[in-house]
Amino acid sequence: MTLKVSSIRNLGPASDAAFARAGIHSAEQLHKLGPDVAYAKLLASGTRAHFIGYYALVMGLQARPWNDCKGKEKVALRIRFDAIKSEAAAKGPDDDLLPAELGAMLDKIGVRSS
């Protein structure tokens, strides 16, 4: 049986749609990828980076409440989040996930090189 992404603690119905845009369609797939790879895929699909969203994901995959993240653990997660965010910014959006019309417009205005 395949479980929805929103079956994971801390993740709601909006998470199903966001992760689907990133190519992640089940809780099992999300667990297998892990929080860092999954979050990088979210960013590549156009989701805006937000630290609370990241650590809520990490906590949820550990079956912990989102606000259970404190102290040194939260500092360590912030370092991981910043690294994921920086790498995603350096790569830019995943072109395979962009609608063709948007990709053409980015090329036309010089944001991407063809």
What burial class does residue 86 get, using C-beta atoms within 10 Å of its C-beta: 0-12 exposed, 13-18 middle, 19+ buried?
A: exposed
pLDDT in tens, 66-112: 999 999 999 999 999 999 999 988 876 655 555 566 666 767 777 76
Domain architecture of the chain: domains with CATH: 5-108 (1.10.150.20)
- Closest-CA residue to 38 (of 91, 95, 81, 74): 81
pTM greater than the 0.75 cutoff:
yes
